[in-house]
Amino acid sequence: MIKPVLKVISHPELEHPVFIAGLTGFGAVGKISADLLIESSKAQLFAELYSPYLPDYVIISEDGMVRLPKYSFYYSRNLERDVIILACDTQPPADSLEAHYQMCGIALDLAEEYKCDFVVTMGGFPTPDTTKEVFIAATEQELVERFATEKSGIYKKGRIIGATGLLLGLAKVRGMKGISILGVTSGIAEDHKAAFSVFKFVTQLIRKL
Amino acid sequence: MIKPVLKVISHPELEHPVFIAGLTGFGAVGKISADLLIESSKAQLFAELYSPYLPDYVIISEDGMVRLPKYSFYYSRNLERDVIILACDTQPPADSLEAHYQMCGIALDLAEEYKCDFVVTMGGFPTPDTTKEVFIAATEQELVERFATEKSGIYKKGRIIGATGLLLGLAKVRGMKGISILGVTSGIAEDHKAAFSVFKFVTQLIRKL
Amino acid sequence: MIKPVLKVISHPELEHPVFIAGLTGFGAVGKISADLLIESSKAQLFAELYSPYLPDYVIISEDGMVRLPKYSFYYSRNLERDVIILACDTQPPADSLEAHYQMCGIALDLAEEYKCDFVVTMGGFPTPDTTKEVFIAATEQELVERFATEKSGIYKKGRIIGATGLLLGLAKVRGMKGISILGVTSGIAEDHKAAFSVFKFVTQLIRKL
Amino acid sequence: MIKPVLKVISHPELEHPVFIAGLTGFGAVGKISADLLIESSKAQLFAELYSPYLPDYVIISEDGMVRLPKYSFYYSRNLERDVIILACDTQPPADSLEAHYQMCGIALDLAEEYKCDFVVTMGGFPTPDTTKEVFIAATEQELVERFATEKSGIYKKGRIIGATGLLLGLAKVRGMKGISILGVTSGIAEDHKAAFSVFKFVTQLIRKL
């Protein structure tokens, strides 16, 4: 395997879906949010992305079964809007810039194939500010203003590192719109409370798009 | 040399061979197992893989002869089943994920050319658990159950790092079946006892496939 | 995104423009010089270069707007000579040699498309020598002699590291001419005085080309 | 520049030339040997190799002239045998395995274009053994035996790291013959004595080929 391989399992019919990514990162907020979303929406796996930039090991299950680390794409038609959800086991190493750009590019290619033009990324935001549940940033002024509330602050003058930021930035270059929802978290331990806040916010956001 | 170069020495006629890899790693278990298998089965070298991802040095023999590091492919028709055996001097650096994926991909391409659909990888498993001789993990539930015994435990909830795991994971994505045999070893010194356990296990396994 | 993407915003008509680059580096001298030049010449953005070798984050504005880091190309017809100005947010990591060569190559491709055959690079030069305001080095003996003055010394026997040097070296291989203007700076803090010296020098240089 | 660029300056007529490489390394032995050979044989520059894997800086001369680091190819018809000599300013970083393989591959491509089938590499060998002036290793048993003397020992059971070894190993895979001459040196300071021993040895070797 020299190039990433997208293994397509099925071709669901989706109507103008929203693309939602919850990847590994601070407090595992993105990952747990994605898991909550997949479970609550009874989402189905329809594509897997393998890549030579992912770690060179296999993951062994409780039964002794091996499998490669991967990015997994799920879809659901059970919410107010059809959705594609991206989840993953792990990401390329932090210093593999090219790998991150490539994986995010392939994910957005798949999203665009399904006529998706709106991207939501979910992650954690390590901050001592506990007056907010989540912080948001977006590709358009209008989106930030529309979704900022007392509990959801605007993330100003900073950076969103990794795929959570990159997916949004790359989407913007392609002319797509998008928003990032970052759950306030205090550390690197799995933060289920922060993930639930993000999950709740995204569920409501889908209704309003 | 920009891309890996597979130098084919001969084109043996093999009937539905099993592909068996024993690469460098913990306790050199995989490498020594492969050497034992090559010697006992009177296997013949038939292909060499050179790669720009392998170290940039030449190895000098006792006679002052130089040669590049390489992956070597042997075959044997002297066992219950025809086999292709992969051995090597060294591997790409641990952090060259892309290189590992590429080398394993080329090895599996060669295996598939010979209509091989079963992969065995041999390696070491550093653990203080001495009630077992080897641990096994596989691409299918059926394989794990069939080959687990009192002396060969099932490797549960873990990772197999490097080519020993990757070959199996990549084989699975291609629809091939496979099993990994990991000899219990206590350290990083060459562990001939562990390698012999793996060799023995694999020899018996070939009979039953 | 696997390869760099040049997003062209407009196709200005330029007459034999000079290509001027002011990138990030020592004392931010290059970057600030470019900003001064863009402002004073009322330059317009006409192309953006995104690259998988740039950092994998998005930059968030004061309003919560996200965007990818990029190289920006401006033009101006308001000076004695038409100019293309290259500015940037950030550069590829220092050890990504290939990335630097590639980004500089794309920038020079764009310059050549506009029939540009003269390159000016602006940067900082950390030195305790305060008898000079700037140091210069060039692709041709004639240029060095013509532009060296009491305040602008000749940079002898050294290296210009990063894009500031590379753009000039690559330009020379392509048969273009060029000069590097390095503002004397004492440290890594933003050095506006050094940047102003470089800006002043370049403004005068444009008149004489 | 995304790929290496070979800039050909002239196309000399050479009769079955020997390819001789003296690159940077231990005690600068290879580099100084190459310089001695170029000077004594009045060799002419006929090709330059630029590469995105070489350092991203320009070298500034005493006159303030800039140029990129490069590999330089010289030829001479003034010795017993026609020769192509490879010299360089610097090499790719030590951990850029792919870069070393690529640069050496391009150098050998050029050599083969001129019907060269014999490669000599010159370098340093850090060892306290001062009974020898040089150590040799080769692609063929016959060569080692023919050129080993009291002062030139056979290098047994070791490695030749970097381009000095790699050029020989890659040449062997291509079916070319070759020998490596390593001057005994005590440290990393420029070792002109060791370089002179290598130069002397190579000058005599050319006569006997």
What is the predicted pLDDT for the residue at B83?
Answer: 98
Q: Alpha-carbon distance A33 to A121, whole Å?
A: 10
Q: Which residues of A touch C59 (CB under 8 A)?
A: 159
Q: Compute how many other C-beta atoms are within 10 angstroms of the C-beta atom of residue C164.
A: 27
Closest CA to A209 of A179, A169, A172: A179
Taking the alpha carbons at both ends of chain D, their separation in whole angstroms is 39
B157 touches chain A (CB under 8 A): yes
pLDDT at C2 over 80: no
Closest CA to D31 of D128, D172, D163, D152: D163
Contact present, C73 and C41 (Cβ < 8 Å)? no
Asked if A144 lies within 8 A of C1 by C-beta distance, the reply is no
Q: Which amino acid makes up residue B152? A: S
User: Residue D133, CB half-sphere, CA atoms under 13 Å: how many?
Assistant: 17
What is the predicted pLDDT for the residue at C94?
Answer: 85
Considering only CB atoms, A56 lies closest to which of B162, B172, B173, namely: B162
Q: Which two tokens stand for residue D172?
A: 């062997």
The pLDDT of B134-148, averaged and rounded, is 96
Strand partners, A154: A136
Contact present, C52 and C117 (Cβ < 8 Å)? no
Contact present, B163 and B23 (Cβ < 8 Å)? yes
Considering only CB atoms, C180 lies closest to which of D63, D66, D92, namely: D66
Q: Which residues of C touch D53 (CB under 8 A)?
A: 97-98
Listed in sequence order, the DSSP H helices in C84-151 are: 97-113, 141-147
Q: Alpha-carbon distance C201 to D66, whole Å?
A: 19
Among C180-189, D56-65, D67-76, where is mean pLDDT lowest? C180-189
Which chains have 3 or more CB–CB distances shorter than 8 Å to chain C? A, D
Residue B91, CA distances (Å) to B3, B20, B25, B52 in order: 16, 16, 9, 11
Q: Alpha-carbon distance B168 to D120, whole Å?
A: 42
| Mean pLDDT, chain D, integer | 94
pLDDT at B187 over 90: no
Contact present, D192 and D133 (Cβ < 8 Å)? no
* Percent of chain D scoring above 90 in pLDDT: 89
Contact present, A74 and A45 (Cβ < 8 Å)? yes
Q: Alpha-carbon distance D111 to D7, whole Å?
A: 15
Considering only CB atoms, D155 lies closest to which of B1, B55, B60, namely: B60
Q: Walk across the sheet containing A152-154 and list its strands.
A: A5-8, A44-50, A71-76, A83-88, A18-22, A118-126, A177-185, A134-138, A152-154
Q: Alpha-carbon distance A98 to C55, whole Å?
A: 9
Largest CA distance in chain B: 50
What is the predicted pLDDT for the residue at B102?
Answer: 94
Residue C1's pLDDT band, with cuts at 50, 70 and 90, is low
pLDDT digits (tens, 9 = 90+) for B89-102: 899 988 889 999 99
Q: Which residues of A touch B173 (CB under 8 A)?
A: 1, 5, 7, 50, 68
Largest CA distance in chain C: 50
Preferred mutation among D101, D125, D149 to probe B, highest tally of B CBs within 10 A: D101
How big is the C-D interface in CB pairs under 8 Å? 96
What is the predicted pLDDT for the residue at B95?
Answer: 84
| Mean pLDDT, chain C, integer | 94
Q: Alpha-carbon distance C191 to C128, whole Å?
A: 14
Region of residue B115 (phi > 0: left; psi between -120 and 50: alpha; otherwise: beta): left
pLDDT at D123 over 70: yes
Q: Which amino acid makes up residue D57? A: Y
pLDDT at D2 over 80: no
pLDDT digits (tens, 9 = 90+) for B8-63: 999 999 999 999 999 999 999 999 999 999 999 999 999 999 999 999 999 999 99
DSSP state of A52: T
The pLDDT of D119-138, averaged and rounded, is 93
DSSP code per residue over D120-165 = EEEEEEE-S--S-SEEEEESSHHHHHHH--SSEEE--SEEEESHHH
**Single pTM value for the model:** 0.89
Give the residue carrying structure tokens 């024993």. B22
Closest CA to D1 of A11, A51, C25, C169: C169
Largest CA distance in chain A: 50
ipTM reported for the complex, 2 dp: 0.89
Q: Compute how many other C-beta atoms are within 10 angstroms of the C-beta atom of residue B90.
A: 15
Q: Alpha-carbon distance D80 to D67, whole Å?
A: 34
| Mean pLDDT, chain B, integer | 94
Q: Which amino acid makes up residue B51? A: S
| Alpha-carbon distance C173 to nearest alpha carbon in chain D (angstroms) | 8
Q: Which amino acid makes up residue B11? A: H
Contact present, C73 and C84 (Cβ < 8 Å)? yes
pLDDT digits (tens, 9 = 90+) for C97-156: 999 999 999 999 999 999 999 999 999 999 888 899 999 999 999 999 999 999 999 999
CA D3 to chain centre: 22
Contact present, D13 and D22 (Cβ < 8 Å)? no
Q: Compute how many other C-beta atoms are within 10 angstroms of the C-beta atom of residue B25.
A: 23
What is the predicted pLDDT for the residue at A129?
Answer: 80
CA B40 to chain centre: 16
Asked if C169 lies within 8 A of D65 by C-beta distance, the reply is no
What is the predicted pLDDT for the residue at B3?
Answer: 86
User: Residue D149, CB half-sphere, CA atoms under 13 Å: how many?
Assistant: 9
Q: Alpha-carbon distance B8 to A115, whole Å?
A: 47
Q: Which two tokens stand for residue C100?
A: 């630097």
Largest CA distance in chain D: 50
Q: Alpha-carbon distance D177 to D168, whole Å?
A: 8
Regions of chain A with pLDDT less than 50:
none
- Non-local CB neighbours of B142 within 8 Å, separated by 6+ positions: none
Which residue does chain B place closest to A7, by CA atoms? B173
Q: Compute how many other C-beta atoms are within 10 angstroms of the C-beta atom of residue B16.
A: 12
What is the predicted pLDDT for the residue at B129?
Answer: 80
- Non-local CB neighbours of B109 within 8 Å, separated by 6+ positions: none
Q: Which residues of C touch A104 (CB under 8 A)?
A: 1
pLDDT at D113 over 70: yes
DSSP state of A17: P
What is the predicted pLDDT for the residue at D121?
Answer: 98
Does D have 3 or more CB contacts under 8 Å with A?
Answer: no
Give the residue carrying structure tokens 């050549």. C112
A154 touches chain C (CB under 8 A): yes
DSSP state of D95: T
| Alpha-carbon distance D100 to nearest alpha carbon in chain B (angstroms) | 7
